[in-house]
Chain A
Amino acid sequence: MISTSSSSVGSLSRYRADFPGLQPEVNGEPLAYLDSGATAQRPSAVLDVERRFLETTNAAVHRGAHTLAALATEAYEEARETVARFVGARSSDEIVWTSNATDALNLVAYGMGNATLGRGGPEASRFVLAPGDEILVTEAEHHANLVPWQELAARTGATFRYVPVHDDGTWSIDDAAAALTDRTRVFAFAHVSNVTGHVAPVAELAELAHGVGALVVLDACQSAPHRALDLVGLGVDFAAFSAHKMLGPTGIGVLWGREELLDALPPFRTGGSMITTVTMESSSFLPSPARFEAGTQPVSQSIALAEAVRYLERVGLEAIDEHEARLGQRLVDELGALPGVRVVGPASGVARAGLASFDVAGVHAHDVGQFLDAQGIAVRVGHHCAQPLHRRLGLTATTRASTYLYSTDDEIDRLVQGVSEVRAYFGAE
């Protein structure tokens, strides 16, 4: 078993103690939490900040004039500024709170649908879809970045198309170039695949898509937590990510968009706090971000997310990326070397995020996961919300191990050892 260590690993392992969720034993075994791609554990700092806010500063934001309301509003907007800086936004007005990344992607899809129905002013015409227009995704997308576009196409008469993937589940810039046409109005794709760990060349893809006049929507769920993001620099138009995959709480996600686009996009949810004037005949709406934030917002969650961002910045995104990329290569090399184990996604030596999904010949993924769980190893099993990709790979389900900054070489050792025993246990050798 290879168990390399480097200075960066040593420097990250000291952060493990910050995560109370990593402490308990499971099934009498020390927990090897290799499911951070589904949801990350949270450091005490994030838990403490949210609790402290609720104990000292809790009040409704952007309404009321009392002291606590002012303090809460200030903290809430500071959180937005923190996240804006983190992803390279031009201003905090480009950061919209949503309930999760799925909600953020639906916001864009429904906004375009509303524009197509004639809602919004003349500035919304750039979002109008007509029959013959094309919405392009990839065959590798998570359902969250697939179903909303499929539905938008069905509602508007636009054509839903996709970039097909290769036998290993990856796709290239050439594949995208072949699928983009002068009718492509939206190109939506994941920065990092949650199944294959494939890393898309975002800047080049955005340039290609803009060349045909398409809007570029980036699913950044598996990249924002793990690598430094400069969304403006990447040249995309919208991006979505979730707090709970980046050491933050559930219940809050983020939509980033270019400000001029956000101000032109008709709102998705309507109601209180997003209007300028309401009469019994019609209503007019605030600019971004308020125009998309109807009703009571995830206030304490936004404060906690900002603390998660500060935590990530203290650790350093480059160190996190380097650590996980090394673990990702270990996963593909060592799992792939086991008899009967097929790792999907980029081959060894090719850029991949710190995760790997794999099939064990003759053993269903649920049984693999159950077997590992008995050893305290937590992995995800199933189609990982990517049924079309699994169908294309000829699989109904895979087992996925996904790492984060707190993951260790010892956990990878235990996983590889556990997987090496699976086929014998189930008589599949």
Chain B
Amino acid sequence: MSDALAGLYQQVILDHAKARTGDRELPGADAEHYERNPTCGDEITVRVVMEPGTDTIRELAWQGDGCSISMASASVLADIAPGLTLAELAERTEAFRGMMRSKGAGEPDEDLLGDAVAFQGVSKFVMRVKCAMLSWVAAEACSTQLVAKVR
């Protein structure tokens, strides 16, 4: 198979697309957001539960339907979100977005992004960037709701 394809479908991505983290309901969620990519029909609902009285995420779960890139990206996000404060999640979201906009040129921060650096190869495929961003955008909307609640 071509190198380009292997660069896109890193093993980490293929693994997360199959054995998904956080792909389930989350009763009693403090925030919930549905996001859709109208061009391809991919959709996802991200839910977040916070540690009571804090701005730290206890759990992030999601349910959706889409390609391996969007599903694997949600799975990785569900892996790294617990224990992060909303500000820390925002920092990682910005780093992830920057990587996705790099068209393959960026040097992602592995300490910050963990397994999410596997999506670096996706940034060369402009048609697939929105797939990778879908769950992160939904989580960002959840954060906005939570910040508004705290205020």
B1 interfacial by beta-carbon distance below 8 Å? yes
Residues from chain B with Cβ under 8 Å of A365 in the complex: 40, 67
Residues from chain A with Cβ under 8 Å of B125 in the complex: 370
> Is A27 a contact partner of B68 (Cβ separation < 8 A)?
no
> Is B67 a contact partner of A374 (Cβ separation < 8 A)?
no
A425 interfacial by beta-carbon distance below 8 Å? yes
How far apart sit A369 and B40, CA to CA, in the bound complex (Å)? 12
> Is A374 a contact partner of B4 (Cβ separation < 8 A)?
yes
B49 interfacial by beta-carbon distance below 8 Å? no
> Is B14 a contact partner of A374 (Cβ separation < 8 A)?
no
Residues from chain B with Cβ under 8 Å of A396 in the complex: 41-43, 65-66
Known: A382-B40, A426-B14, A427-B18. A374 touches B68 (CB 8 A): no
> Is B131 a contact partner of A374 (Cβ separation < 8 A)?
no
> Is B1 a contact partner of A397 (Cβ separation < 8 A)?
no
How far apart sit A264 and B143, CA to CA, in the bound complex (Å)? 57
How far apart sit A374 and B125, CA to CA, in the bound complex (Å)? 12
Known: A366-B131, A396-B65. A382 touches B14 (CB 8 A): no
Residues from chain A with Cβ under 8 Å of B54 in the complex: none
> Is A390 a contact partner of B14 (Cβ separation < 8 A)?
no
How far apart sit A425 and B18, CA to CA, in the bound complex (Å)? 12
Within 8 A of B (CB), among A349-408: 363-367, 370-371, 374-375, 381-383, 387, 390, 396-397
Closest residue of A by beta carbon distance from B125? A370
- Selected from B5, B40, B43, the residue in CB contact (under 8 A) with A371 is B5
Residues from chain B with Cβ under 8 Å of A121 in the complex: none
Residues from chain B with Cβ under 8 Å of A363 in the complex: 68
* Least distance between B122 CB and chain A CB atoms (Å): 10
Q: How many residues of B contact A (CB 8 A)?
A: 23
- Selected from A374, A383, A397, the residue in CB contact (under 8 A) with B5 is A374
Within 8 A of A (CB), among B110-143: 125, 128, 131
> Is A370 a contact partner of B5 (Cβ separation < 8 A)?
yes
> Is A382 a contact partner of B41 (Cβ separation < 8 A)?
yes
Within 8 A of A (CB), among B49-87: 65-69, 71
Known: A382-B41, A390-B41, A396-B41. A367 touches B68 (CB 8 A): yes
Q: What total of A-B pairs shows CB separation below 8 Å? A: 55
A131 interfacial by beta-carbon distance below 8 Å? no
> Is A426 a contact partner of B4 (Cβ separation < 8 A)?
no
- Selected from B14, B18, B40, the residue in CB contact (under 8 A) with A397 is B40
Known: A426-B17, A426-B68, A427-B14. A366 touches B4 (CB 8 A): no
How far apart sit A383 and B18, CA to CA, in the bound complex (Å)? 23
How far apart sit A225 and B14, CA to CA, in the bound complex (Å)? 40
> Is B5 a contact partner of A366 (Cβ separation < 8 A)?
no
How far apart sit A396 and B68, CA to CA, in the bound complex (Å)? 14
> Is B69 a contact partner of A27 (Cβ separation < 8 A)?
no
Residues from chain A with Cβ under 8 Å of B41 in the complex: 382-383, 387, 390, 396-397
> Is A364 a contact partner of B2 (Cβ separation < 8 A)?
no
Binding site for A on B (CB under 8 A): 1-2, 4-5, 8-9, 14, 17-18, 39-43, 65-69, 71, 125, 128, 131
Binding site for B on A (CB under 8 A): 27-28, 363-367, 370-371, 374-375, 381-383, 387, 390, 396-397, 425-427
Interchain Cβ contacts under 8 Å between A and B, 24 examples:
A27-B4, A364-B66, A364-B67, A366-B66, A366-B69, A367-B67, A367-B68, A367-B69, A370-B5, A370-B125, A374-B4, A374-B5, A381-B40, A382-B39, A383-B40, A387-B41, A390-B41, A396-B41, A397-B40, A397-B41, A425-B9, A426-B68, A427-B14, A427-B18
- Pick the 3 closest A-B CB pairs, nearest first: A366-B67, A364-B67, A374-B5
